[in-house]
């Protein structure tokens, strides 16, 4: 068996391992972060359980750490007390970015990790099958429920050669994106193998698996080998290591090859991670800002190489340059070896160990500016500046842009710094976490503390037999969850208050959407959104489904859906319908009345929509029987509550 099949077969609770068929998996570990975690814990609490039922659950605070006003500190306190009450580990603001912290402290080979963040596959760099999901899916996994997904196809990625010169692991995944696109990984797990694997460290592997999310992949995996063992030894947890390799002659659904020796420094151009070109082609483009860090590129090695590139030199005074380390452990190592001093003396601004600029939490670029970032997404407006142009690059490419104030040809950069070994002394990281009391009796004495911004969960009605609605919005291809539910300091602070955050749905795409949706709801009409390809790509934030559902959206009619968002729509009772004939997309206009007889629908079948001014439009669904049952119940929480009450 290949690695993916070994892990899946060891955790299979429901279904058969046939690509496309629904399976249910036992989850070993979960992680949540604050932007999605408050809702996940409210949902877990609603199930009436006294303790998490996983091997490990961790509640991280890394997204909205700006404590401006009461909302964020109140939410952080709520998350801390939930973790203490229900038996999870808590990571306070400033400790670091969830994926970097999890890799350092908790990820284990052969385990299944489910996280309420789309870049959870970061842990795949350690041979862990790590997947992103919506908060409700994670809450149910914490409750011991199986995690249901269509069985993915497994793609063999055969690595040869070794990275040369200034090329880094980030350039490998940008190369993959240039070949496959942001839709190329949907329904797939990418499994890396071949002689090139041994040349990559665990943090480098994690960079590659992290941005498998940008491919749309379910997950990405590397073997657990001696490099993995060495990393775990350095982290003080060699006992967590176990070997994990594909058997000789393992079968795969698809195969591809990447020669690491041929990889050159690359950049993803605005406003999509797959718009990739060689850095050399951007020679001379002025850069207003450089931001380094994120869950993709904030490891010790990444930032050490930045420090070596900048050592003894000054960043361009016209280029604002900042850096956010991935964890306090990383920051301590940089400090102890003198790299932090080198960075500060070169003119780099030091930010908190958190997500920060990656999700528009401060350090936004100037109006119309060019921002070069070591992050994973460059969607329009995500930086906090609507008209900024964001380029995604490796850490050393970012450092070169900071020095020169513009993109330059890598041929002019000289000799690249040597890849570092870990320092002889590695500061421990686990003392930064708050671990729960060992006994349930002790935990039961913890009071869950809620601020006024935390609003009780809404109860949604079941799917009506006849859906009468109106097309309240029509959008094009590539709509991201950032388009649907924008992030940023002000909006994300409302994450625990669905009625309030719902007022911002599509606010940066169509300011009139909420008013039209309010009017339709007042008239007793369901909202219907019409979209193009890959609707809902990007972040796993379930608010992009939950908030539209609160407003009265009951169906999305699209050419195709991104995996996690499709699951979130189902979880909150919104029908994901697919055009049978893509040309019908052009015929459906905003404001049209829509009727659908849901009583005649079946899982995996076709249905006929009657649309004003168009007539009949045939749509299909790719729902499993279980998913169809969830939709009819009005959402996953309703369905689980009903089953547990039987």
Q: What is the tens place of the pLDDT at every residue in 535-545? A: 999 999 999 99
* CA-to-CA dists, residue 626 to 179, 187, 203, 577, 635, angstroms: 35, 18, 38, 16, 11
Extract the tokens encoding 500. 């309030």
Q: Which residue has the tokens 């997309």?
A: 585
Extract the tokens encoding 121. 């596959």
22-31, 60-69, 582-591, 604-613, range with the lowest pLDDT:
60-69
**361 confidence band (pLDDT: 50, 70, 90):** confident
Q: What is the tens place of the pLDDT at every residue in 215-250? A: 999 999 999 999 999 999 999 999 999 999 999 999
Mean pLDDT of 177-181: 98
Asked whether residue 69 carries a pLDDT value surpassing 90, the answer given is no
Nearest by Cα to 39 from 79, 70, 83, 84 = 79
What's the confidence (pLDDT) of residue 174?
99
What's the confidence (pLDDT) of residue 360?
87
What's the confidence (pLDDT) of residue 503?
98
> CA 364, CA 384: separation in Å to the nearest integer?
5
Torsion-angle region of residue 414: left (phi > 0), alpha (psi -120 to 50) or beta? Answer: left
Q: What is the tens place of the pLDDT at every residue in 367-416? A: 999 999 999 999 998 998 999 999 999 999 999 999 999 999 999 999 99
Strand 153-160 with 147-150, pairing = unpaired
Asked whether residue 95 carries a pLDDT value surpassing 80, the answer given is yes
> CA 21, CA 603: separation in Å to the nearest integer?
13
In our burial notation (b when 16+ CB lie closer than 10 A, e otherwise), range 279-290 reads bbebeebebbbb
Mean pLDDT of 180-192: 97
**91 confidence band (pLDDT: 50, 70, 90):** very high
Asked whether residue 646 carries a pLDDT value surpassing 80, the answer given is no
Asked whether residue 15 carries a pLDDT value surpassing 90, the answer given is yes
What's the confidence (pLDDT) of residue 645?
80
Asked whether residue 441 carries a pLDDT value surpassing 80, the answer given is yes
Q: What is the tens place of the pLDDT at every residue in 276-298? A: 999 999 999 999 999 999 999 99
Asked whether residue 524 carries a pLDDT value surpassing 90, the answer given is yes
> CA 80, CA 195: separation in Å to the nearest integer?
44
Q: Rounded to 5 degrees, what are φ and ψ at 108?
A: -135, 145
* Cβ atoms 303, 211 nearer than 8 A: no
What's the confidence (pLDDT) of residue 71?
92
Mean pLDDT of 462-469: 96
Radius of gyration of the chain (CA): 24
> CA 449, CA 82: separation in Å to the nearest integer?
8
* Cβ atoms 222, 125 nearer than 8 A: yes
Average pLDDT value over all residues in the chain = 96
**488 confidence band (pLDDT: 50, 70, 90):** confident
Q: Which residue has the tokens 């990007």?
A: 538
What's the confidence (pLDDT) of residue 90?
99
**68 confidence band (pLDDT: 50, 70, 90):** confident
Asked whether residue 527 carries a pLDDT value surpassing 80, the answer given is yes
What percentage of the chain has pLDDT greater than the value 90? 93
What percentage of the chain has pLDDT greater than the value 70? 100
Asked whether residue 341 carries a pLDDT value surpassing 90, the answer given is yes
**366 confidence band (pLDDT: 50, 70, 90):** very high
What's the confidence (pLDDT) of residue 246?
98
Asked whether residue 84 carries a pLDDT value surpassing 90, the answer given is yes
């Amino acid at each position: 068996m290949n690695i993916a099949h070994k892990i899946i077969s060891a955790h299979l609770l429901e279904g058969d391992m046939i690509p496309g068929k629904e399976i249910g998996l036992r989850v070993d570990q979960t992680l949540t972060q604050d932007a999605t975690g408050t809702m996940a814990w409210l949902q877990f609490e609603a199930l009436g359980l006294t303790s998490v039922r996983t091997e490990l659950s961790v509640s991280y605070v890394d997204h909205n750490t700006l404590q401006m006003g009461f909302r964020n500190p109140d939410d952080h306190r709520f998350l801390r007390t939930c973790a203490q009450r229900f038996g999870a580990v808590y990571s306070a603001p400033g400790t670091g970015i969830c994926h970097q912290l999890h890799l350092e402290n908790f990820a284990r080979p052969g385990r299944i990790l489910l996280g309420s963040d789309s870049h959870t596959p970061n842990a795949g760099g350690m041979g862990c099958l790590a997947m992103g999901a919506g908060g409700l899916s994670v809450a149910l996994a914490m409750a011991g429920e199986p995690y249901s997904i269509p069985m993915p196809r497994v793609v063999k990625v055969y690595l040869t050669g070794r990275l040369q010169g200034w090329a880094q692991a980030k350039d490998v995944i940008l190369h993959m994106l240039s070949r496959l696109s942001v839709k190329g990984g949907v329904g797939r797990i990418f499994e890396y193998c071949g002689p090139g694997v041994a040349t990559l460290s665990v943090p480098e592997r994690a960079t590659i698996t992290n941005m498998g999310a940008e491919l749309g992949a379910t997950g990405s995996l590397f073997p657990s080998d001696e490099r993995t063992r060495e990393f775990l030894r350095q982290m003080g947890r060699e006992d967590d290591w176990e070997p994990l390799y594909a058997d000789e002659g393992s079968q795969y659904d698809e195969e591809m090859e990447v020669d690491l020796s041929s990889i050159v420094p690359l950049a993803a151009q605005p406003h999509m991670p797959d718009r990739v070109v060689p850095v050399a082609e951007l020679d001379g483009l002025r850069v207003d800002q450089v931001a380094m860090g994120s869950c993709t590129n904030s490891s010790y090695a990444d930032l050490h190489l930045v420090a070596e590139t900048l050592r003894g030199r000054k960043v361009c005074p016209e280029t604002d340059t900042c850096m956010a380390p991935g964890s306090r452990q990383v920051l301590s190592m940089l400090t102890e070896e003198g790299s932090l001093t080198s960075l500060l003396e070169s003119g780099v601004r030091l930010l908190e160990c958190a997500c920060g600029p990656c999700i528009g939490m401060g350090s936004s670029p100037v109006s119309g500016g060019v921002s070069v970032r070591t992050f994973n997404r460059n969607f329009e407006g995500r930086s906090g500046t609507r008209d900024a142009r964001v380029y995604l690059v490796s850490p050393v490419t970012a450092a070169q842009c900071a020095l020169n104030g513009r993109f330059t040809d890598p041929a002019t950069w000289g000799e690249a710094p040597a890849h570092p070994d870990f320092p002889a002394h590695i500061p421990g990281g686990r003392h930064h976490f708050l671990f729960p009391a060992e006994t349930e009796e002790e935990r039961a004495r913890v009071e869950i503390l809620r601020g006024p911004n935390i609003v009780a969960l809404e109860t949604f009605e079941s799917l009506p037999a006849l859906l009468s609605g109106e097309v309240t919005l029509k959008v094009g291809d590539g709509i991201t969850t950032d388009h649907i539910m924008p992030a940023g300091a002000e909006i994300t602070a409302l994450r625990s208050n669905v009625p309030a955050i719902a007022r911002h749905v599509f606010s940066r795409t169509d300011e009139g959407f909420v008013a039209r949706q309010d009017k339709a709801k007042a008239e007793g009409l369901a909202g219907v959104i019409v979209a193009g390809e890959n609707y809902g790509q990007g972040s796993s934030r379930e608010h992009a489904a939950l908030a539209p559902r609160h407003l009265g959206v009951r169906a999305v009619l699209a050419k195709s859906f991104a995996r996690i968002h499709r699951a979130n729509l189902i979880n909150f009772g919104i029908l994901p319908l697919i055009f049978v004939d893509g040309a019908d997309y052009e015929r459906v206009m905003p404001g049209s009345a829509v009727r659908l007889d849901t009583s005649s629908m079946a899982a995996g079948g076709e249905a006929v929509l009657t649309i004003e001014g168009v007539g009949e439009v045939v749509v299909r669904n790719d729902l499993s029987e279980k998913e169809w049952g969830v939709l009819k119940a009005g959402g996953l929480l309703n369905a689980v509550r009903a089953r547990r009450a039987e």
